[in-house]
Amino acid sequence: MGLLMVFVRVLFLILVMLQMGTNAKIQQKVFDVTRYGAIADGRTNNTKAFERAWSDACKWNGKRTLKAPSNPSVMTSDQWISFQYVNRLAVNGGGSFDGQGASSWKNVIKNSSNFLPIQRENISPTRQPPHRWYLRISRSSIGTGGDCIAILSGSSNIDVSEVFCGPGHGISIGSLRKYAYEKNVWGFSVKNCTFRDTTNGLRIKTYRSSASSVSGINYQNIHMDNVQNPIIIDQQYCPYPPCVMFPSLVQIKDVTYSNIWGTSSTKVAVTFRCSERFPCKNIMLNDINLVHHGPGGSATSQCSYVNGASSGRQMPPSCL
Ligand SMILES: *[C@@H]1O[C@H](CO)[C@@H](O)[C@H](O)[C@H]1NC(C)=O
Ligand SMILES: *[C@@H]1O[C@H](CO)[C@@H](O)[C@H](O)[C@H]1NC(C)=O
Ligand SMILES: *[C@@H]1O[C@H](CO)[C@@H](O)[C@H](O)[C@H]1NC(C)=O
């Protein structure tokens, strides 16, 4: 998909969102691409019109809250905002993304909406200097009924920092599943983030059937506030049973969790449910302090088919 398509899609959604915004108190402005010269005749090249509208929307000095439509049926896909095949994209600034809560999205076909399903292709790898972050998401507040950020097949070198996530399903790698040849995910860092009232915190999920690897993942300085499953690797992910019951072929390795603290709304605060076929390797827990208040007593951790080590404070007691 070309950049134009990305612009078209994002801009269309912005228009929809601003028009559908129900809270009249929020200052609204519509950037109508037809006023920038776009013609919907299927022939006109509208690149310039979209670029100008986009540029003005970015410059507009209002409280930039991007709202998902409250009625998801107006959407033509289950993704609210999506960037694909983009290198060096930065998403930052003081605005906020409001998915209008789970209620808006639960009737969508897949029952969720990924806020930023980032699918990155190495279009010109030779031009990229090594060891650089190619994609950065920072200083953003993301609330959706789905994943706050979903890192999909083929993504690498992505840096997330100072993101507030909630409500939503947390920051997820995966699910990796759909195709026979999923691409690897590597080089993903999440730092200085807060999760509030989300159904997951730091999640890696793979279906049983897919084959690829997830490696070089670094989670650091993460505050959990009333989060279900603050730390979870689930290689038996199966939201819509039945699923293929073979062990997952995804190899997960070199994942570090450092300084993760706060409250877990479920008793099992740390879950590593890895593949019998390719057990998780080199999973590190450093300074974990996740408490659970409520029935069932204090927080616990669960491990299956995982190799790794822990250091520093460990609450719940580490199962590694
Ligand atoms: C449309 O216009 C842009 C720049 O104005 C140009 O880069 C692009 O190649 C054009 N697309 C087509 C299909 O002509
Ligand atoms: C959405 O989720 C509900 C309950 O979890 C389930 O019964 C339903 O089949 C799902 N819908 C689709 C289209 O997957
Ligand atoms: C995270 O926070 C620490 C401590 O405040 C700071 O030193 C560090 O630069 C921050 N890193 C990022 C990526 O925001």
Closest ligand 2 atom to 109 CA: 13
Query: Which protein residue's CA is at the shortest distance from atom 14 of ligand 1?
Result: 45
Shortest-distance ligand to the CA of residue 78: 2
Number of domains forming the structure of the chain: 2
In testing the pocket of ligand 3, which one of 163, 191, 222, 287 has its CB within 8 Å of the most ligand atoms?
Answer: 191
Query: Confidence band (pLDDT; 50, 70, 90) for 113?
Result: very low
Where do the H-state alpha helices sit in 83-200?
A: 101-105
Query: Confidence band (pLDDT; 50, 70, 90) for 36?
Result: very high
Shared-domain flag, residues 99 and 137: no
118-164 pLDDT, tens digit per residue, is: 333 333 333 344 444 467 788 777 776 678 888 887 788 888 998 88
- Of residues 212 and 262, more confidence is placed in 262
Query: Confidence band (pLDDT; 50, 70, 90) for 217?
Result: very high
| Residue 45 near ligand 1, beta carbon < 6 Å | yes
Shared-domain flag, residues 149 and 77: no
Shared-domain flag, residues 142 and 106: no
Q: In the predicted model, what is the mean pLDDT of residues 33-47?
A: 90
Domain of 223, in residue numbers: 121-320
Of 113, 140, 173, the residue that ends a domain is 113
34 φ/ψ angles, rounded to the nearest 5 degrees = -70, -25
Cα(6) to centroid(ligand 1), Å: 14
Asked which of 46-50, 93-97, 253-257, 273-277 is least confident by mean pLDDT, the reply is: 93-97
Of 58, 86, 113, the residue that ends a domain is 113
Closest ligand 2 atom to 111 CA: 1
Dihedral, CA of residue 75, residue 76, residue 82 and residue 85, to nearest 10: -170
Catalytic residues: 169
Name the token pair of 256.
Answer: 């570090």
| Residue 4 near ligand 2, beta carbon < 6 Å | no
Cα separation, 223 vs 194, in Å, equals: 5
> Looking at residue 280, what is its pLDDT?
97
Say yes or no to pLDDT of 238 above 90: no
